Structure 1
């Protein structure tokens, strides 16, 4: 006899909502801290003609909420909501980009969550995180082409910026997110069936 196992419910449990709130506040604070770091890095790189790299080096930090919410909650939409709510926390803390932070958070959340969606919301390990970094890089780079004027840069600079962005997303949204996930699991907050 073949056993058919039920897939995880698509309903959000109270634990999911609390995890989402935790991610939003914790990562939203990190987003807010990154603002002044970005300003210093941009100021340091501007005389060298490398100011766009300030954003590329740090963007992974601004995109940690989506993969963290996704791998902790394991529900469609968790990444977008995590990123959007974390950007709202950054804005409410007085982040320098104001309400525009919400639009960026939404675009970043869609880009990051797309990687998990492409895999059918079935791979929450490194494969899903890698896919999230790829789709997050592509979606946000296209966004930057319009918003930040990247479309006017020469191809060599665009390639360097793209690679830097991908590595930033892989480090912050991969290595650091997995480390945070392990700490949360070690604390006994998550009880996987």
Structure 2
């Protein structure tokens, strides 16, 4: 069943990315001279393609949620609530780290990766299609409802970040949840986060700064979400709190 879900998720992701890129190409290149405000830009093309990939993955993994057990739904909801509140508090860390950008623009993003951790922890524990997407989206919703200062953009970020992490797990057929896979999923979520932030906040930054931010988020996502997420999951497992979930059966 996981194999079919993985194929469906990846197929929808590829279709979403390809269609998004094609529409942009047709609008910017084929009809560009007639529509002055739509012009081809490689950065914009990459951004839209990533958005299409994440949206496609989200759509492709939605059916898998119907096969979840009640206990799994409750766990994801609780994790999302806890991490949503932690995400809200992490905004303080983000502000404290602002001087890093003064020393070297873009390096503050080394602390950004914690905002993806809900997708990693939930997926590591439950190990079912759709988990990363659902957990990250619900955590973003919890942060928004708790008064997150970035408003509805939090929900968009949650969907895209969760969708990008979901693609990594789908690529393994939802069979690998070792540290390298978790770190790769965290890094993928980092790519999604920068895409959303570029659309809303960072569209006027130079490519050099954006490149530094991307590297910082890849590292941060791998460590603060991937490595730390596994550490949290292992800690809960050793405490005996996860005996009813896949992490206990497959360890």
TM-score range, shorter chain: 0.7 to 0.9
User: What corresponds to 1:13 in structure 2?
Assistant: 69
Between stretches 16-25 and 134-143, larger displacement belongs to 134-143
CA separation of 1:24/1:7 partners in 2, compared to 1, >3 Å: closer, same or farther? closer
Q: TM-score, normalised by structure 1?
A: 0.83
Contact 2:112 2:217 in 1 (8 A): yes
Q: 1:53: which partner in 2?
A: 107
* Gap change, CA 1:40 and 1:76, over 3 Å in 2: same
CA distance in 2 between counterparts of 1:46 and 1:141 reads 16
d(CA) in 2 for partners of 1:46, 1:59:
13
Q: Which has the larger radius of gyration?
A: 2
Question: How many pairs does the alignment contain?
Answer: 184
Q: In the superposition, relative to structure 1, how do residues 75 and 169 fare at CA in structure 2: closer, same or farther (>3 Å)?
A: same
Give the Cα–Cα distance (whole angstroms) in 1 for the partners of residues 150 and 97 of structure 2.
16
* Structure 1: unaligned runs, 5 residues or longer: 1-5
Structure 2 residue runs of 5 or longer lacking an equivalent are 4-63
Residue of structure 2 equivalent to 1:181: 233
State the TM-score, normalized to the length of structure 2.
0.65
Contact 1:20 1:69 in 2 (8 A): yes
Question: 1:115·1:136 contact (CA, 8 Å) conserved in 2?
Answer: no
Q: Deviations over 1:161-182 (max 9, x none)?
A: 2221111001111221111101
Note if 1:125 corresponds to 2:181.
no
Match of 2:54 in 1: none
1:32-181 aligned at under 5 Å gives the runs: 32-42=88-98, 44-45=99-100, 47-48=102-103, 50=105, 52-54=106-108, 56-150=109-203, 152-155=205-208, 157-181=209-233
Q: Residue 189 of structure 1 aligns to a residue in which SS?
A: coil
Partner deviation per Cα, 1:134-185 (whole Å, 9 max, x = no partner): 4223333333333333574133x33322221111001111221111101110
Q: Is the 8 A contact 1:70 1:79 kept in 2?
A: yes
CA shift, 1:66, in A, is: 0.6
Quick check: which one's helix share is greater?
Answer: 2
